[in-house]
Amino acid sequence: MPQDIVVIGAGVVGISIAAGLARQGHKVRVLDRTGVAAETSQGNAGAFAFTDVMPLAAPGIMRKAPKWLLDPLGPLSIPPRYALRIAPWMLRFWRASWQDRHDASVAAQSALMDLSRAALERQIAATDGEALIQRDGQLQLYEGEAQFRDSLPGWELRGRYGIRYELLRSPEEIAEIQPGLDRRFTHAGFTPDWINTTDPKAWTEHLARGFVAAGGEILSSTVRSIAQDGERVELVCEDGSITADKVVVAAGAWSHHLARTLGDRIPLETERGYNTTLPAGAFDVRTHLTFGAHGFVVSRINGGVRVGGAVELGGLKLPPNYKRADVLLQKAARFLPGLETSGGTRWMGFRPSIPDTLPVIGTSPRAENVIYAFGHGHLGLTQSAATAELVGDVVAGRNCSIPLQPYRADRF
């Protein structure tokens, strides 16, 4: 039976959910304080990273933690003035890095990625979106034999989960896929099934236009709190209140604040990601390039080049440190000697991060008509279509295509 549903959040996850629910015949409104793809969804690397099944909380990761505080411009850092505040989250992160939790996270992430890959193809077909898709694969690059050998267990693990890859063992083999790299990169792993969008903002706007054409509505509003009101849900907004049969919380890095108004305390932190987007002609990028040891990627966006990444666990309120974007661009210029670095635009976005790298998907433990869909970290674009299908199953009362237990809100 059609329901009146409000989706909070007009990023790629929220819009994908709203569009899917509208196609099921529900009356759907999207509420967002800034607009479609106006936050993190507009500035990411544009990657559907289906091969990225390894959680950040890996065994041994905490041995590296002291260096994070000592290198404010490194690939993974915590601003000193934020260190005390993030301590409880870091304890959960440490526990998630134990082998038992790590293996469970890899299995759950792989299941979600398998669904995400298939769901994206269905989404592309349903929205006539192929023109916004690039199917050029991805190179993970390594400097020297030792770094490459250290990566092999991860490649073997990917293979066990059915991810296709090819290992390259010379600069010449690498150059056949991506010319122009510095010869310090002697080895690589190539994943041919990797997909990018030509522009993550344009992709989300494309989905939003389809949602509106199907009868959906997108409104500008800031939601302050959520409460179960009998069989309905009440939203208190800055400009009044709204009720609905069901509410989906897909507000990215702000979602846990809304969950707390229901009494759900979810350990979400903010990965602050930085990038610089260079104009068309800056470099002939032929595939998505991942410099894993340096914590950044290079991708093709609208014919230009986007250089970005790194993880700064610094919350929502500290001012941006754009020196991080500058450092990444300087490294990219060394690694891609022909890169033209002038004319770039710097950006910083907030990625919603859960300690075990898995998102929160499913019904609130305290309100059966509130559904959570957030915490995807840097994989929001990647997992958006799958999250939309799972939320659609929850709303319809169907069995989900994968078990939701690993993503439940109360797992911590």
Domain shared by 143 and 249, yes or no: no
Domain shared by 6 and 83, yes or no: no
Buried b (16+ CB within 10 A) or exposed e, 65-101: eeebeeeeebbbbbbeebeeebeebbebbeebbeeeb
Domain shared by 251 and 347, yes or no: no
Q: Inform me whether the pLDDT recorded for 70 exceeds 80.
A: no
What is the bridge-based pairing of β-strands 217-220 and 27-32?
parallel
Decide: pTM greater than 0.75: yes
Which of 353, 372, 393 terminates a domain? The answer is: 353
212: CATH: 3.50.50.60
pLDDT digit string, tens, across residues 81-104: 888 899 999 899 989 989 989 999
Report the percent of the chain where pLDDT is more than 70.
Answer: 98
**Mutual angle of helices 99-127 and 12-23, in 10-degree steps:** 60
For residue 194, give every residue at least 6 positions away whose Cβ sits within 8 Å of its Cβ, in sequence order, or none: 47, 48, 49, 50, 51, 136, 137, 138, 287, 288
Residue 214 to residue 255: CA distance in whole angstroms: 26
**109 close to 53: Cβ distance less than 8 angstroms:** yes
pLDDT of residue 69: 61
Q: Where are the alpha helices (DSSP H) in 304-403?
A: 323-335, 380-396
Written as six digits, the tokens of 51 are: 């091969």
Q: Categorize the per-residue pLDDT at 65 as very low, low, confident or very high, splitting at 50, 70 and 90.
A: low
Average pLDDT, the chain: 94
Domain shared by 51 and 108, yes or no: yes
Residue 19 to residue 113: CA distance in whole angstroms: 20
Q: Provide mean pLDDT across the span 353-375.
A: 96
- At 383, the amino acid letter reads Q
Residue 376 to residue 359: CA distance in whole angstroms: 5
Q: Inform me whether the pLDDT recorded for 2 exceeds 90.
A: no
pLDDT of residue 285: 97
pLDDT digit string, tens, across residues 211-252: 999 999 999 999 999 998 889 999 999 989 999 999 999 999
- At 88, the amino acid letter reads P
Which of 326, 353, 380 terminates a domain? The answer is: 353
pLDDT of residue 84: 87
Domain shared by 190 and 253, yes or no: no
pLDDT of residue 400: 96
pLDDT digit string, tens, across residues 305-356: 999 987 888 899 999 999 999 999 999 999 999 999 999 999 999 999 999 9
Report the percent of the chain where pLDDT is more than 90.
Answer: 82
Enclosing domain of residue 411: 1-55+97-132+195-265+356-412
pLDDT of residue 72: 72
pLDDT digit string, tens, across residues 136-159: 999 999 999 999 999 999 999 889
Lowest mean pLDDT across 84-98, 110-124, 361-375, 380-394: 84-98
Q: Is 56 helix (H, G, I), strand (E, B) or coil?
A: coil
Domain shared by 114 and 124, yes or no: yes
Q: Inform me whether the pLDDT recorded for 181 exceeds 80.
A: yes
Residue 376 to residue 27: CA distance in whole angstroms: 26
Which of 353, 379, 402 terminates a domain? The answer is: 353
Q: Is the dihedral of CA 169, 150, 49, 182 positive or negative?
A: negative
Domain shared by 202 and 165, yes or no: no
Domain shared by 365 and 244, yes or no: yes
pLDDT digit string, tens, across residues 13-57: 999 999 999 999 999 999 999 999 999 999 999 999 998 888 888
Q: Inform me whether the pLDDT recorded for 71 exceeds 80.
A: no
Domain shared by 221 and 282, yes or no: no
Count of the separate structural domains present in the chain: 2
Domain shared by 147 and 238, yes or no: no
Q: Categorize the per-residue pLDDT at 61 as very low, low, confident or very high, splitting at 50, 70 and 90.
A: confident
Tell me the Cα Rg of the chain. Answer: 21
* Burial category of 138 from C-beta neighbours within 10 Å (exposed 0-12, middle 13-18, buried 19 and up): buried
Domain shared by 216 and 323, yes or no: no
Residue 301 to residue 285: CA distance in whole angstroms: 10
147: CATH: 3.30.9.10
Written as six digits, the tokens of 66 are: 């002291």
